[in-house]
Amino acid sequence: MNAADLARASGVARATLSKLEAGQGNPTLDTIGALAAALRLPLVDLLAELTTPAVRLDRSPPVSDPTPSQQLLTRVGGSGMTEFWRLRLGPGERLDRQPHATGTTEHITVITGNLKTGPTDNLHEMTAGDFISYRADLPHSYVAGTDVVLAAVVMTYLLVLPDFTA
């Protein structure tokens, strides 16, 4: 889609698009929303930071809060592979893992128990309902607390194409 097509599809003036492209604009949320709709992207894709933190930990809201809710924890996509794993550790058990392929990320939600996980030199304590995301192309560990741990693990890998130039 070129700039003229985007202007037509979004209803945003070409002059405004030119300013935004040059980094000189200060668009309203309505303008960003119109561009996202025209590009068929979720609005959050145009608002999100382009860099991913080394570790991202989200705490679960208190169970006593009766308000129904749904929260996007992370988006898994792009050109790569995604694996879904079930992690079970007995009380006090520890698993130390070697780095996965470059660009691998683990996304973990604790279902039951207490878990310490993350890069081996930066473990984070989690309880049931907590979510963490971290680079798994570094040594990383899982350490159970005093109870059995059950967790859902989603691993994402970058697609690496073969180098045919060699």
Confidence at residue 149, expressed as pLDDT on a 0 to 100 scale: 93
Question: Confidence band (pLDDT; 50, 70, 90) for 22?
Answer: confident
Say if residue 50's pLDDT is above 70: no
Question: Confidence band (pLDDT; 50, 70, 90) for 4?
Answer: confident
Q: Where are the beta strands (DSSP E) in the chain?
A: 55-58, 80-89, 94-97, 105-112, 115-119, 124-126, 131-135, 140-144, 149-158
Say if residue 148's pLDDT is above 70: yes
For the four alpha carbons of 132, 134, 136 and 138, in that order, the dihedral sign comes to negative
Question: Do the bridges between strand 80-89 and strand 131-135 make them parallel or antiparallel, or are there none, so unpaired?
Answer: unpaired
Ramachandran quadrant class, 35 (left: phi over 0; alpha: psi -120 to 50; beta: rest): alpha
Confidence at residue 140, expressed as pLDDT on a 0 to 100 scale: 96
Chain-centroid distance of CA 79 in Å reads: 15
Is the CATH number of domain 55-158 1.10.1270.20? no
List the domain boundaries for the chain: 3-47, 55-158
Q: Give the residue-averaged pLDDT of 73-100.
A: 83
Say if residue 150's pLDDT is above 80: yes
Question: Confidence band (pLDDT; 50, 70, 90) for 128?
Answer: very high
Q: What is the distance between the alpha carbons of residues 147 and 61, in angstroms, rounded to a whole number?
A: 21
Say if residue 44's pLDDT is above 70: no
In this predicted model, which residue has the larger pLDDT, 146 or 5? 146
